[in-house]
Chain A
Amino acid sequence: MDLAFTPEEEQFRNEVRTWVCAHLPADIAHKVHHALRLTRDDQQRWAKILGAKGWLGFGWPTQFGGPGWSAIQKHLFEEECALAGAPRIVPFGPVMVAPVIMAFGTPEQQQRFLPGIASGEVWWSQGYSEPGSGSDLASVKCRAENFGDHYLVNGQKTWTTLGQYGEWIFCLVRTATDCKPQAGISFLLIDMKSPGVSVRPIVLLDGEPEVNEVFFDNVKVPVNNLIGEENKGWTYAKHLLSHERTNIADVNRSKRELERLKRIAKIEGVWDDLRFRDQIALLEVDVVALEMLVLRVLSAEKSGKNSLDIAGLLKIRGSEIQQRYAELMMLAAGPFALPLIHEAMDAGWQGDQVDGRVVGFPGDALHCAPLASSYFNLRKTTIYGGSNEVQRNIVAQTVLG
């Protein structure tokens, strides 16, 4: 047993740190460190910088142009990016659909889709959930009828994160109904510019249209956009979900946000209130314990063992911690978390014109502007990616059978 990373791993970390430090645009890092609004352009700029370096697909094997990093290297890369204030890589392309295309796509599909994902040129969205299919994903109804050279897709997807920017969407569609629900699902890639696709934003608690409904009305999709075999989509989806869960603990971001919480607590004067500071201390213990849990999973992967029976715990704990730091930040701000001034969450906002003069955020507490929004926004974390209640079912299965 050894807590320290190897010298090679430390050297790798330093290389990543140096590179990220030199290439992450300062304006983007500023926004991330202050929880200000990120635009599509911000996301794309960073994605393309990573793409040019070959690191957007940081989890990819070398045969598909990826760096071929070990689990620990991937972890260190994500940690350095998070601590430097890089936006989270939008996962739908490089982290979610790409591994499915690599594992189950044809060489032609790999040629066609992977380069655009690796470079950050093409924005992908995820079409899984439907109004009637949340936790029970296998019940999807969005229908794809096979007409020989094309499918005709009719139905609806929802909770499509950042779907308003999406150019392509990977969907679970129903291709058979006379069987077990899981056995009639196919995995289809759809060009969102196709006639019949429409996107309607859903405004969330924080006032932001982060997710969308996507409607398909007689959308023609070429059959060579089908991944793998028809009606085998559920298998591919499970493969994808396993990729979604490993980094869902997001402990690196929580470390960064814990630091921000401490800064906010000092500015707001609650750092010296022991009742409040003890709550931060509890969160600090939670974060360290989660990091140790993550390191245990990484260590198991490194030694080629199955990642114990604890991987399922990562999502539950990681999401609870994200909600907790946001909650404490909001509570630290106290009443100054309450003013709802949407523009104050944009970088460079100087204030509003009032009677011919510029008036800033109440109490000049501009850093408080996004805190309640973040709190409201992060309520999603215990719901998405398999709700924490579903996760508990899975964990209980490992204990009780």
Chain B
Amino acid sequence: MNFDLTDEQVQLQDAVQRWVDKSYTFDHYRATVKHGGFDRDNYAQLADLGLCGLLVAQDHGGLGMGPVEAMLVMQALGAGLVLEPLTHTFITSSVLARFAPSDLQARWLPGVASGETLAVLAWQERSSRYRPEKCEAKAAPSQQIYALTATKNIVQAGDQADAFIVPALLDGALALFWVESAASGVQTRGYLTQNGSRAADVTLNQTQATLITRDGLAALELAIDVGLAAACAQGVGLMDKTLRLTADYLNTRKQFGVAIGTFQALRHRMADMKMQLELARSMSYYATLKLGAPAAERRVALARAKVQLGQSMRFVGQQSVQLHGGIGVTDEYIGSHYFKHLTQLELSFGDTLHHLGEVSNRMGETAGVFA
């Protein structure tokens, strides 16, 4: 049992941090939002850093690293308000490696690792909310190739992606497919989302698709759990920075002739925010270190983690705005963007109440990190 990082892991995090500080400034972030919330060049830079191939095996041109490295990267990207959906690259890498036949892995993973292929998970539907088992998309077999008909909503960078990982019903059971965005029958409608990142509705009409796995529910659950772990890490990065911004502000801003950080009511609020951050960090570690556990254990762990993160992100975000006073509710101030990112993350891959229900349904007689 230890939570120390290796020297290589520290170097990785430092490298990503340096890139964020240098290349993903607040101005650059704002320009990207203005540009539509996604910039292929930003994504290419992530690829240059090796991050798109972080979880891809070396045989397929990746770095072959694991969940801890992914967590460190997402922390740094979270703290830097990075909009490009590396989370989905991690999902794609993980799902293909675990569930796709080896010839398909060899066909797709090198492009994923190099950043040439951006493939995102397209799973949410109007009536599915956060439930992976709820799906109306349908797949019809026609020889080796399948034809998919589906409407998927709020697909991250959906009108910029090169491919989608799409759950659809095949013979009444959930299966997972690979769909290229250039295929016929694909229509997208892109839009900004609340944190300035880009998403799209994606409709498929008799669109050609390749089967990844018939074990669709298990694969989709893994996809969501990888997404959850990434979201937790991103949340920790965001909250860490939020606390620093808020502390700086309290120590600078003067009212009644003194720094407002001397007032006990505000100091205690900061202590409560610190509590929420550290509980969240602890549960982000937990989520990351449970990603490799058997599915049932993994699912409970990730749900528990998101319950903690959801509560922490909401508290830290809201209180940061409150402690900043007027400046906190302006668009021009960087802190307000952290609040929006935190809010968006709570609603990603299942919100707090959804996962509380998961924890509640799966509760056993014992509980604890090892139970």
Once the chains are docked, how many angstroms separate the CA of A285 from the CA of B273? 18
Closest residue of A by beta carbon distance from B9: A1
Is A284 touching B304 in the complex (CB atoms < 8 A)? yes
Which of A16-24, A89-97, A166-174, A254-262 forms contacts with chain B? Answer: A254-262
B360: chain A residues within 8 A (beta carbon): 274, 277-278, 280-281
Once the chains are docked, how many angstroms separate the CA of A3 from the CA of B67? 13
Once the chains are docked, how many angstroms separate the CA of A214 from the CA of B340? 56
B369: chain A residues within 8 A (beta carbon): 3, 288, 291-292, 295
Is B290 touching A3 in the complex (CB atoms < 8 A)? yes
Is B365 touching A262 in the complex (CB atoms < 8 A)? yes
Is B1 touching A5 in the complex (CB atoms < 8 A)? yes
* Interface residue tally for chain B (C-beta within 8 Å): 42
Given A313-B278, A392-B272, CB of A281 within 8 Å of CB of B1: no
Once the chains are docked, how many angstroms separate the CA of A299 from the CA of B268? 27
Hey, what's the 0/1 contact readout for B330-369 against A, CB within 8 Å counting as 1? 0000000000000000000000000011011001011111
Q: B275: CB under 8 A from chain A?
A: yes
B30: chain A residues within 8 A (beta carbon): none
Once the chains are docked, how many angstroms separate the CA of A298 from the CA of B360? 29
Q: B62: CB under 8 A from chain A?
A: no
Once the chains are docked, how many angstroms separate the CA of A395 from the CA of B275? 9
Hey, what's the 0/1 contact readout for B253-297 against A, CB within 8 Å counting as 1? 000000001001001101111110011001101101110000000
Is B247 touching A296 in the complex (CB atoms < 8 A)? no
Q: Could you tell me the distance in whole angstroms from the C-beta of A232 to the nearest C-beta in chain B?
A: 31
Contact partner of A310 (CB less than 8 A), chosen from B273, B278, B366, is B278
Q: A401: CB under 8 A from chain B?
A: yes
B2: chain A residues within 8 A (beta carbon): 1-2, 299, 302-303
Number of A-B contacts defined by CB within 8 Å: 139
B308: chain A residues within 8 A (beta carbon): 285, 289
Given A3-B289, A282-B356, A393-B264, CB of A259 within 8 Å of CB of B247: no
Hey, what's the 0/1 contact readout for A69-86 against B, CB within 8 Å counting as 1? 000100000000000000
Is A389 touching B1 in the complex (CB atoms < 8 A)? no
Q: A358: CB under 8 A from chain B?
A: no
Closest residue of A by beta carbon distance from B364: A262
Q: Could you tell me the distance in whole angstroms from the C-beta of A94 to the nearest C-beta in chain B?
A: 25
Is A284 touching B359 in the complex (CB atoms < 8 A)? yes
Is B367 touching A284 in the complex (CB atoms < 8 A)? yes
Q: A162: CB under 8 A from chain B?
A: no
Is A285 touching B363 in the complex (CB atoms < 8 A)? no
B55: chain A residues within 8 A (beta carbon): none
Q: A4: CB under 8 A from chain B?
A: yes
Is B283 touching A292 in the complex (CB atoms < 8 A)? yes
Q: Could you tell me the distance in whole angstroms from the C-beta of A288 to the nearest C-beta in chain B?
A: 6
A72: chain B residues within 8 A (beta carbon): 1
* B interface residue numbers (CB < 8 A to A): 1-5, 68, 243, 247, 250-251, 261, 264, 267-268, 270-275, 278-279, 282-283, 285-286, 288-290, 304, 307-308, 356-357, 359-360, 363, 365-369
Please list 12 pairs of residues, one from A and one from B, whose beta carbons are closer than 8 Å in the complex, sorted by A's number.
A1-B2, A255-B367, A263-B365, A278-B356, A278-B360, A285-B356, A291-B369, A293-B279, A295-B369, A392-B271, A399-B274, A400-B250
> 14 extra interchain contacts, Cβ-Cβ under 8 A, other than A288-B368, A292-B285, A395-B274?
A1-B5, A6-B1, A255-B367, A255-B368, A259-B367, A285-B304, A287-B367, A288-B369, A290-B279, A292-B282, A299-B3, A303-B2, A317-B279, A401-B251
